[in-house]
A and B are shown apart, each in its own frame.
Chain A
Amino acid sequence: GAGVSQSPRYKVTKRGQDVALRCDPISGHVSLYWYRQALGQGPEFLTYFNYEAQQDKSGLPNDRFSAERPEGSISTLTIQRTEQRDSAMYRCASSLDRPVFSGNTIYFGEGSWLTVV
């Protein structure tokens, strides 16, 4: 697609429910990232994939959070047993290759607003 696409854009869920957030990266982009952004803060790293391999999941807050990218394209971030503190903007991003290499711009999607009530 033309840009990084995320769905749903807005999600309200009850505490204790599971939620799945979807990310469709720019076509051909190898690297995919998930970030969480609270109001007034910078994006906080959650996890990162190269192709289908999850290279770094050090930012996932706890074992209720998981992510997958089974075919190296679309990715899903799943939060189990949601809690109110999980309420935030979840942003997906992608790049042609790893950012350490010059020219590999990371493009962000519009994000998924999650509210846990």
Chain B
Amino acid sequence: QKEVEQNSGPLSVPEGAIASLNCTYSDRVSQSFFWYRQYSGKSPELIMSIYSNGDKEDGRFTAQLNKASQYVSLLIRDSQPSDSATYLCAVTGGGNKLTFGTGTQLKVEL
């Protein structure tokens, strides 16, 4: 079992819709959770971080964390073509190592 699992996609949503990206992790002592966006050929860039159970909203993005279920998700409201990218879920455990999933490719269609 991989430490951080994501559906590789592609996930296709129409412009203006809500995109829902999911991630599960195996290490129960994980403490910090991140969503990175990576455009093709570019480096990952942080878009959301979440540290406690519940929802965290930042503009069109909402991160949701459920430590009991070992599940973290990212919702993107009013999806735009510019949101088309690969979204990487990352998790830190007690040792501060940041472990990434394989990423979910999102395609926002006109």
Contacts and interface: CB of A to CB of B under 8 A. Distances in A.
A110 B23 CA distance: 25
B60 interface: no
Interface residues of A, number: 26
Nearest to B52: A102
A99 B45 contact: no
B44 A48 contact: no
Given A55-B96, A58-B97, A108-B43, A100 B31 contact: yes
Interface string B80-110: 0000000010101011111111110000000
Contact of B43 (A98, A105, A109): A109
Contacts of B8: 40
A62 interface: no
Contacts of A31: 96
A43 B96 contact: no
Interface residues of B, number: 26
Interface string A20-56: 0000000000010101000011111100100000011
A40 B6 CA distance: 13
Contact of B98 (A55, A99, A109): A99
Interface in B33-53: 34, 42-46, 49, 51
Given A42-B103, A108-B45, A98 B96 contact: yes
B62 interface: no
B73 interface: no
Interface of A: 31, 33, 35, 40-45, 48, 55-56, 58-59, 91, 98-100, 102, 105-111
